Amino acid sequence: MLNGKVVVITGGAGLLGRVFSAAVADAGGVAVVADVNLTAAERVAQEINNARPGGAAPAQLDISDPESVNSLIELLHGRHGRIDAVVNNAYPRNKNWGRKLEDVAYGDFCENMDMHLGGYFLVMQRFSLYFKSQGFGNIVNLASIYGTMVPRFEIYAGTRMTVAVEYAAIKSAIIQLTRYFAQYFKHDGVRFNCISPGGILDNQPESFLKHYNGHCGTKGMLDSKDISGTLIYLLSDASRYVTGQNIIIDDGFAL
């Protein structure tokens, strides 16, 4: 479905990013595993290339640094002559991320908004302008069900987990940014969509999983691979006229 398409995956060496990168290569595309940690990106790209030679290439990218984003666009344009799509998937946050509301310092809130939401905006802005100049392009943003619904605080009872207030603010804003950009570039051949996943399995406490899964259908918490099919659809020509949409993948958690 992605034969020869050059697809940048930000945060490409992370929990979701490495699975997305492999899925792009499996679909016939060239996955640019873009991560602030170049060593990790090189490792993920090598793993993909071992199974699918030429399916991936590593790149260093700091989504909160304009020069880093511009340099990657220049590098890929020089190498391929085009860029087909970006998966805006990175998950930057500072060391105090995830505190409960009463413990969040104003400076930490602002810093996390700047790194995460600001970084998503920067990637969207710089790649959109490049895509407009080449006449086509496709951006898929990663948001969350907690950008669409009120938090279910009760499912975190008895654990140290919570829904970070920054997370809710950032992910809801990403959904609206997606619509804003889709409308702004509607006549330029550039489209924007959003995926809002439910929770992803990552060694959470059993008590939390029990409470969370009680709100779901047959699966409960998702594996990273559960998101990949929708991502490949949005990156492919099968969704050629889909833009400005937010697709929720959560096994019914938000219902």
For the annotated catalytic residues, the residue numbers are 167
Amino acid at 23: A
- Provide DSSP, 171-189: HHHHHHHHHHHHHHTTTTT
CA distance 115 to 97: 11
Cβ pair 199, 163 in contact under 8 A: no
Check: CB of residue 140 under 8 Å from CB of residue 235.
yes
CB 231, CB 221: distance < 8 Å: no
Strand partners for 142? 195
CA–CA separation, 89 vs 116, rounded Å?
10
| Helical H segments across the chain, by residue range | 17-26, 38-51, 66-80, 106-112, 118-134, 165-184, 206-213, 225-235
Length of the chain: 255
249: exposed, middle or buried (Cβ count in 10 Å: 0-12, 13-18, 19+): middle
